Amino acid sequence: GAGVSQSPSNKVTEKGKDVELRCDPISGHTALYWYRQSLGQGLEFLIYFQGNSAPDKSGLPSDRFSAERTGGSVSTLTIQRTQQEDSAVYLCASLLTRGQPQHFGDGTRLSIL
Amino acid sequence: AQSVTQPDIHITVSEGASLELRCNYSYGATPYLFWYVQSPGQGLQLLLKYFSGDTLVQGIKGFEAEFKRSQSSFNLRKPSVHWSDAAEYFCAVANNDYKLSFGAGTTVTVRA
């Protein structure tokens, strides 16, 4: 498809487990962003990738969170030792170039039991 | 640091009536401003954006927004609301890296 694709759309896991969330950006988009949407905190920036530059990790809430972007395309957000407060919708967005808006995927709804 | 305030958590409007959603931002430089809409279970859809130029911006679905630097505002308007406009609306400001800071959102309910 032409849009940002995220998988899985829903993920339910037990507290303490690790999870991986995937984002396929729009082809050719050089910038990729992860955001988190939760009831208590609203929409928050997590991490930003731009080309081959070092990612901006300033929004990651703890060292249990990490992300990588392979080949400048697909990105994986990993949460280790999940906690109940990690329950949220994780949104990915990609950007072609400055002056253009970000395009968002439909998100992954993560539920920690 | 940039921030966005959406003072109205919830607005109810009659179908066919006008709608205005308020947004105030805080940012040290010229802001990049956005309005997104989110329907339940969906991602964010861009309604309109302001980067520079004309301060009255036209968007999709009949929405428009006006950038007022003196008031640090970027209010969203629609002259006549349709039932399909019921959704949550987010105002956002971006820094030079286009990292978005969002407001808390305004939920719009449309009554028949």
Count of other CB atoms within 10 angstroms of residue B108:
20
Question: Which of B49, B100, B103 minimises the CB distance to A45?
Answer: B100
Q: What is the CATH number of the domain that holds B39?
A: 2.60.40.10
- Residue A20's domain comprises 5-112
Contacts of B37 in chain A (CB under 8 A): none
Q: Domain count of chain B?
A: 1
Phi, psi of B84 (to 5 degrees): -70, -5
Q: Give the residue with greater pLDDT, A59 vs A70.
A: A59
B55-82 CB burial, b ≥16 within 10 A, e <16: eebebeeebbbebeeeebbbbbebeebe
For position A81, what pLDDT does the model report? 98
CB contact under 8 Å between B98 and A95, yes or no, is yes
A90 — contact with chain B (CB < 8 Å)? no
By DSSP bridging, strand A108-112 and strand A10-13 are parallel
CA distance B28 to B1: 8
Q: Domain count of chain A?
A: 1
For the segment B25-83, what is each residue's pLDDT rounded down to a tens digit?
998 777 899 999 999 888 899 999 999 889 999 999 999 999 999 999 999 999 999 99
Q: Give the residue with greater pLDDT, B94 vs A98.
A: B94
Q: What is the CATH number of the domain that holds A49?
A: 2.60.40.10
- Residue B47's domain comprises 3-111
